[in-house]
Structure 1
């Protein structure tokens, strides 16, 4: 599997795990807690796998940045959380930063 696909899977697993933390209610609900732990393990496995060819700085910036964006979108849709203008600006800057890294960085996938 392409290591970029492992990175995308790591982001999706991490985002899902973080979402399930909300449903675990401080780890008092068994199924969301266990599912969250399993998804975090899968996320870290995929993250470590993609590090074979993608530089660690680029990997972590994309993983954390897109994870933040996706968790925020889940919060808006699933939990009716409303971001203020500062949150929206921050999210846009994160997206811009990930784009700049991918388009203009000299750190290449080897």
Structure 2
């Protein structure tokens, strides 16, 4: 649960950082850049904690997909931006894909079947393969010996 919480914090921090970026570009540069730098740093930290347990493809899809959705809402609510019907449809399709990636419980390989354990015979000593190494060819300046 901790890792999912860290992923949620990473998403929220990314959204706040992007809103700070918009403020930095429009009305309050110092405050906007400060918020942006602090929050994107925290977002990367929280994301790095989340990927310890959550697969990278799933966590990145959630981080960026949910972040894009929330940033779109923030743009409309906070800055009066307009999303066309096509843009809203594209975001909705992305969210459906995000749900499919996140909640897919595909067939998982059993650990014992995927990586069979080879046990050594106790009665026979293991033979070690020995590699023969040829002496290196000395080259003159400008030549490469392979």
TM over 0.5: yes
Question: Does the 8 Å CA contact 1:51/1:59 hold for their aligned counterparts?
Answer: yes
Q: TM-score, normalised by structure 2?
A: 0.69
1:33–1:107 Cα change, 3 Å:
farther
1:43: how far off? 0.1
User: Equivalent residue of 1:82, what SS?
Assistant: coil
Report the equivalent of 1:9: 9
Deviation, 1:12, is 0.1
Measured after TM superposition, the shift of residue 103 of structure 1 is: 2.0
Distance 1:96 1:60, change over 3 A: same
Structure number having the greater helix percentage = 1
* Gapped regions of structure 2 (runs ≥ 5): 109-146
Whose Rg is larger?
2
Cα 1:16/1:107, change in 2 over 3 Å: farther
Deviates more, 1:94-103 or 1:39-48: 94-103
Taking only aligned residues, the RMSD between alpha carbons, in angstroms, comes to 2.0
Q: Give ranges in structure 1 of 5+ residues lacking alignment.
A: none
Structure 1 Cα separation of the partners of residues 106 and 71 of structure 2: 29
1:75 is aligned to 2:69? no
Q: Say if 2:22 is the partner of 1:61.
A: no
Is 1:87 the counterpart of 2:94 in the alignment?
no
Q: How many residues align?
A: 108
